[in-house]
Structure 1
């Protein structure tokens, strides 16, 4: 018998976050779907209807909401033309490598032509997993970022991998080319991130933002044709635009990042110099440690070779 309600309890990781983000994380629903349920007063926090998605949750709060299993939804269109690499697949998970320029899932301004549309064509079974617009996606990459993503192939795998993300057991490392010479060979940017009050498309370091922490280590420095540093960056948290905002905040924006001040005039490949190169997690079924590495794509290698 399917329960008519589902319930979640807020973990330490989500203490202090917006309630709509927490619900979207646990339920797999899109933020717009969550917003619709909130507006109808169908989601409760500690037995009281939630009135705004911006309400803040606290440790051990109980969130209850309708069980939407079996509800009719608009089906994602399959698109066999979407280009992406399948790095690994079994009956529980799929690991893919996304090219720069490809949006991960449908959203505002992008109904089709996304990675999810390509996944729907190649792995139709994903239509039964999680949010019907995200098809098992565990995390995302910005449009301009290339590299590794993990996709769950069963509801159990999705829950497990989301829990690993929540507990920060998923290791994600990125390669970045940034403007200027970073002073310290290694360091940590520990600065809260939130929506930029001056530009809703951007994130910014703000005191009222969410906890965010990025580790970096210098791989190489070059002088010509202008000073750059090549970094390996590791996410401790996974906020929107986190690496881009943190590096810009310390005066070293990612090359090709016109949103956050990265130099673009030399960038003949017209892409963001950011690549998700390593991904490590525990297999949700076998519990084996899964390690994946993605070499730099040709256009980033060409960009790297410019510098001496």
Structure 2
């Protein structure tokens, strides 16, 4: 397991062909041996990222993830204050978020969420209001659909701060300037799984970086 920083690719990709730096290559070079990614995190997401030292173990862990035998917990800083303290977002998602959803198969998707903190920042991101409300949420996706948490939080009108695809550009830019940091405010905090060889239950954690301290 590594604690992936925000902005780092999991592996080199044709989508970012100009980018040579990636977590897989860093870890491979540090260990001096091949590694296999067990799952993925968006480039902008920080936190728990698991690699295996063999293709067989990576495959077995991949099956456990696909069969929902693991639990994931994320932290997300979102726009606005949710009316409730928690709930379940049950909203099917199109298979490919990069394509128009019309005509695509829509897949079952649920995300459990809890509001941990509510904050009011002394910066205006809307001319109607002198301050900006944000909230810190804990999110546990039941499935692992692509961009599931990001798309689900947009669906309930609380997009993640810094989300260029599902949020609002003016708000993201204003908060990035106010906070002194431009990032997607999504952190993979915990992954619970069963070791495929020993059978031990592993609870893998990555503490959020110091930039999260004002919201914790």
- Cross-structure match for 2:111: 214
Contact 1:181–1:229 (Cα < 8 Å) also in 2: yes
Aligned in 2, Cα 1:204/1:114: closer, same or farther, shift over 3 Å? farther
- Cross-structure match for 1:240: 146
Q: 1:57-206 to 2 correspondence within 5 Å? A: 95-111=1-17, 112-126=20-34, 135-194=35-94, 195-196=96-97, 200=99
Structure number with bigger Rg: 1
Structure 2 length normalisation: TM-score? 0.84
What's the CA shift string for 1:100-130, capped at 9, x where partnerless?
010111112434211111122013332xxxx
- Cross-structure match for 1:279: 191
- Cross-structure match for 1:223: 120
User: Any gaps of 5 or more consecutive residues in structure 1?
Assistant: 1-94, 127-134
What is the CA distance between 1:207 and its match in structure 2? 7.6
Instruction: Decide which moves more: 110-119 or 143-152.
Output: 110-119
What is the CA distance between 1:98 and its match in structure 2? 0.3
Separation of aligned partners in 2, 1:124 and 1:280 = 27
Secondary structure of 2:106 counterpart = coil
Q: 1:47-62 to 2 correspondence within 5 Å? A: none
Aligned in 2, Cα 1:206/1:260: closer, same or farther, shift over 3 Å? farther
What is the CA distance between 1:277 and its match in structure 2? 0.5
Instruction: Decide which moves more: 245-254 or 157-166.
Output: 157-166
What is the CA distance between 1:180 and its match in structure 2? 0.7
Contact 1:191–1:205 (Cα < 8 Å) also in 2: no
Name the structure, 1 or 2, with higher relative contact order (CA <8 Å, separation 6+): 2
Contact 1:193–1:206 (Cα < 8 Å) also in 2: no
What is the CA distance between 1:149 and its match in structure 2? 1.0
- Cross-structure match for 1:266: 175
Structure 1 vs Structure 2 CA RMSD: 2.1
Aligned residues: 198
Q: 1:7-26 to 2 correspondence within 5 Å? A: none
Separation of aligned partners in 1, 2:65 and 2:144 = 9
Secondary structure of 1:173 counterpart = strand
Contact 2:38–2:59 (Cα < 8 Å) also in 1: no
Structure 1 length normalisation: TM-score? 0.60
User: Any gaps of 5 or more consecutive residues in structure 2?
Assistant: 123-131
What is the CA distance between 1:169 and its match in structure 2? 1.1
What's the CA shift string for 1:267-288, capped at 9, x where partnerless?
1200011100111111111110
